[in-house]
Structure 1
Amino acid sequence: MKLGVDQRVKNTIQTIKDEINGLDYYLKILSISDAIVRADDIDLEERKNLDTEGILDLILSKLYELYNDGKYHSIKWILEGNGVKLNGHTEDWDYGRMLEDRGFIETINDRDVNAKLKLEGKYAIEQARKAQVPDYSKISDSDEELKTLLKEVLTEVKKSGYGQQIIFDEFDELRKDIPHLSKKSFGQLLKSKLGDLVAAKAFDKTLASDIFKQFTDQMFPF
């Protein structure tokens, strides 16, 4: 039976929507794939040599970044995109089972094991991050260097498509405070302002971590 024009249009629109949703999913996976988008910022050799607990922590951390979409994500894709080589066909299933047994994730099994973070897992990640103590020792001692770096960071932020006025206001306040701050105080204030900007959805957690690293030479999750 030949479809009418209206039905063909509806089918075409649905096909386009499905393709857009598929592309959106792959872009999200790409955004948390450090070995692809942040290869210069991580130690790939260290990733290859992670022990079991380190791999489990990495899976949880990446699922945390994907938590808000409420979807299931391939553990195999997460690991391969972050520089972890699987040693067997069922190793991703084993990691999924271990995390599920701990009550941190839910899984569904297809060709790969797919997982999403439960609230218990989200809470565990947040508590672990609160306990993490940043190292501010590598922040520059030069006020002028810090001001120059702030200017460069703002330029990069703007080029990335983030232009809310709150970003520039927060960084301008930070720039004015530089002469009165120790390295530790500057680092703490920077961390606080980045956290506030993430909470205000002025930019995302990944960008906040990248900015923090430029000043401290340390990756810190937000």
Structure 2
Amino acid sequence: MKNETEILTVKLNEIHSSLTAKSDIEKTEKEIKNLIKNYLPNNYKVLEEVFELEFNKFNKSIFEDFSFLTETKSKEQIRQENTNKLKSKTHKTIDYLSLIEFPNTYDGALYTINEKKDFILKKLNLVFNDNYYSLSKILDLNNIEYRQGETRELAQDLAKSGYLILFSEYNNNGDDYVKLSVKGASYIERKTTKKSKKKSQEEIDEKIEKITEMLIKLGYGQEIIFNEMEEIRDLYSKLNNKNWSELVKGKLIDLGLSQVIEKETISKIFETLIDQKFQLLN
């Protein structure tokens, strides 16, 4: 079942896809704002700012500063420009929606600077593109507290490390708007992979413990069995999944052929470790 953020994202994507030069821009903008207010009332203020202000911030034309240079445009050109503008505004809003954590396990609970840095990089990696995003808005959308001026300091610090690119490098009014650099994406991907491997290792450890308890209850006390289980545990982090699965299969077959463990028990061990049924012995 989809949560409110996911439902809103689907609806905005539908609107984005259906926009044409014939669309009623004013009516559609009101519809989008109402959808945001209905589905995410607590985040309405932040998302309204994204929808209303960010396009102009990043797409200011030189003609706005020099009105005498304003070019004459046809009605068709104006309609198409307005349509493209609304598409851009809607797409940016959808991007910010993807940065909302669900379920929100943080909710103001990120206390250290390093925790906030990792959270920011993780979120920006979800929208790894050429657009710039406000760190304060990202934290606000996730109910994460920060000091006055802290997001700008975080942006500058992460930029010094090469993980972020500051919009203020190109615009004096860049505030805390940033985008992820290749180095930043590489860093967070490595960290995420490392965490994933750690979690997988913990799951294998739990399975080995479960198997050990099962073997003891069944009356198996041979040291060779438990030594093999420990080797299987140790090699999990050193081999890829395919090679590790083949190793498990080979060791269990050897134990079966030497009649150290019965066929049914071997099948249970294999199914517990590999999460699939497999007939090891004929």
TM-score range for the pair, normalised by the shorter chain length: 0.5 to 0.7
Of 126, 129, 132, 1:72 maps to 132
**Which runs of no fewer than 5 residues in structure 2 stay unpaired?**
1-70, 211-268, 277-282
What amino acid is aligned across from residue 53 of structure 1 in structure 2?
N
Q: Secondary structure at the match of 2:74?
A: helix
Of 176, 181, 185, 2:274 maps to 185
Superposed CA offset, 1:6-57 (max 9, x none) = 81011111101111111110111011112xxx2xx23235x43431100000
Divergent runs of 4+, >6 A: none
**Which runs of no fewer than 5 residues in structure 1 stay unpaired?**
142-178, 188-222
Q: Which has the larger radius of gyration?
A: 2
Partner in structure 1 of residue 187 of structure 2 = 124
What amino acid is aligned across from residue 188 of structure 2 in structure 1?
I
Partner in structure 2 of residue 12 of structure 1 = 79
Partner in structure 1 of residue 150 of structure 2 = 91
- C-alpha separation in 2, matches of 1:82 and 1:186: 36
1:115 aligns with 2:174: no
- Cα RMSD of the aligned pairs, angstroms, is 3.0
Q: What pairs up with 1:154-165 in 2 under 5 angstroms?
A: none
Superposed CA offset, 1:175-210 (max 9, x none) = xxxx9632x5349xxxxxxxxxxxxxxxxxxxxxxx
- C-alpha separation in 1, matches of 2:146 and 2:89: 25
- C-alpha separation in 2, matches of 1:32 and 1:102: 22
Q: How does the TM-score come out when normalised to structure 2?
A: 0.44
Q: Secondary structure at the match of 2:167?
A: strand
Conserved in 2, the CA contact under 8 Å of 1:76 and 1:112? Answer: no
Of 97, 100, 108, 2:159 maps to 100
What count of residue pairs does the alignment treat as equivalent? 137
Conserved in 2, the CA contact under 8 Å of 1:60 and 1:125? Answer: yes
What amino acid is aligned across from residue 7 of structure 1 in structure 2?
S
1:43 aligns with 2:102: no
Partner in structure 1 of residue 118 of structure 2 = 57
1:81 Cα deviation from its structure 2 partner? 1.3
- C-alpha separation in 2, matches of 1:106 and 1:121: 9
Superposed CA offset, 1:95-115 (max 9, x none) = 001101111110013363111
Q: Secondary structure at the match of 1:181?
A: helix
Q: 1:70 to 1:54 in 2, by over 3 A?
A: same
- C-alpha separation in 2, matches of 1:185 and 1:31: 33
Superposed CA offset, 1:61-108 (max 9, x none) = 1111110x32111111111112212221x1111000110111111001
Partner in structure 1 of residue 216 of structure 2 = none
Conserved in 2, the CA contact under 8 Å of 1:72 and 1:115? Answer: yes
Conserved in 1, the CA contact under 8 Å of 2:133 and 2:178? Answer: yes
Conserved in 2, the CA contact under 8 Å of 1:105 and 1:116? Answer: yes
- C-alpha separation in 2, matches of 1:93 and 1:123: 22
Q: How does the TM-score come out when normalised to structure 1?
A: 0.54
Q: Secondary structure at the match of 1:44?
A: coil
Conserved in 2, the CA contact under 8 Å of 1:75 and 1:112? Answer: no
